[in-house]
Amino acid sequence: MDKKLLENFRTRLLHEKKELEQEIKKINDSGIGEPLKEVSGELSSYDNHSSDLGAETFERGKDIALRDNQKVILKKVNDALGRIDKGSYGYCENCGGEIPLERLEAVPYATLCLRCREEIEARSYTMKRPVEEKAISPPFGRTFLDGEDSTGYDGEDAWQEVARYGSANSPQDVGGAESYEDIYIDKEEPRGTVERIDNLSKEDVINE
């Protein structure tokens, strides 16, 4: 990368750094470090206006998330400026090849070329469960035992016991669900028995 182009990226990164620092300061000055009760103006956290306090709590959490995200980007910008000083700016940290200018124009603090970024993301999506889970006993190990030769009470059974009383899901969150009774998996599966016939009592047989 020629010197003029490198200086253009330095100027852009310095400008972005200044904007990020201003945004972080603005969020910090909004009272994010003060107790929520004082910021909201409520006399107590336990009053008749729980919805108002809930809205304030949501806004506080959103501000913290935005500030933390800006801090992460600021660190990436500072690292990119450091790479410019060291002469390693514009090179992929994974394969060592040059990062295309189009990518640097879009993300000036990028550390990976597009191909390496896509490969890393693909590996993270297909990551298997840790092999240690097969050796660790519940409650620390995996207890959903579908597909395994086990008839014991597992995590799926526990979930079904509580899910039938309701959850945060709604029918629109589950494909094919038409009512709230359909929003958890295998709702018709017998609970506490292996086969449906095990649920029959003496009275059921006599009535038949």
Residue 181 dihedral angles phi and psi, to the nearest 5°: -75, -15
Q: Which pLDDT score is estimated for 63? A: 86
Q: What are phi and psi of 98, to 5 degrees?
A: -75, 140
3-17, 27-41, 54-68, 77-91, range with the lowest pLDDT: 27-41
Average pLDDT of the segment spanning 173-179: 69
Q: What is the token pair recorded at 94? A: 């994974």
State the residue for tokens 């919805």. Answer: 51
- Distance in angstroms (rounded) separating the CA atoms of residues 69 and 77: 13
| Residue 147's pLDDT band (cuts 50, 70, 90) | low
Of 7 and 142, the structure prediction assigns the larger pLDDT to 7
Spatial separation of the C-alpha atoms in residues 78 and 67, rounded to whole Å: 16
Neighbours of 180 (CB within 10 A): 14
Range name among 57-61, 72-76, 84-88, 196-200 with the lowest pLDDT average: 196-200
Q: Considering the chain, what is the average pLDDT of its residues?
A: 77
Task: Give the percent of the chain with pLDDT over 90.
Answer: 33
Q: pLDDT class for 2, splitting at 50, 70, 90?
A: confident
Once rounded to an integer, what is the mean pLDDT over residues 54-83? Answer: 89
Cβ proximity of 164 and 188 under 8 Å = no
Rounded to an integer, the average pLDDT of 87-109 is: 92
pLDDT of residue 126: 55
Is 141 or 135 the better-scoring residue by pLDDT?
A: 135
101-132 per-position pLDDT tens digit: 999 999 999 999 999 988 887 776 555 666 77
Kindly report the length of the chain.
208
Residue pair 85/92 in contact by the 8 Å Cβ criterion: no
Q: Where are the domains of the chain?
A: 3-89, 91-127, 132-207
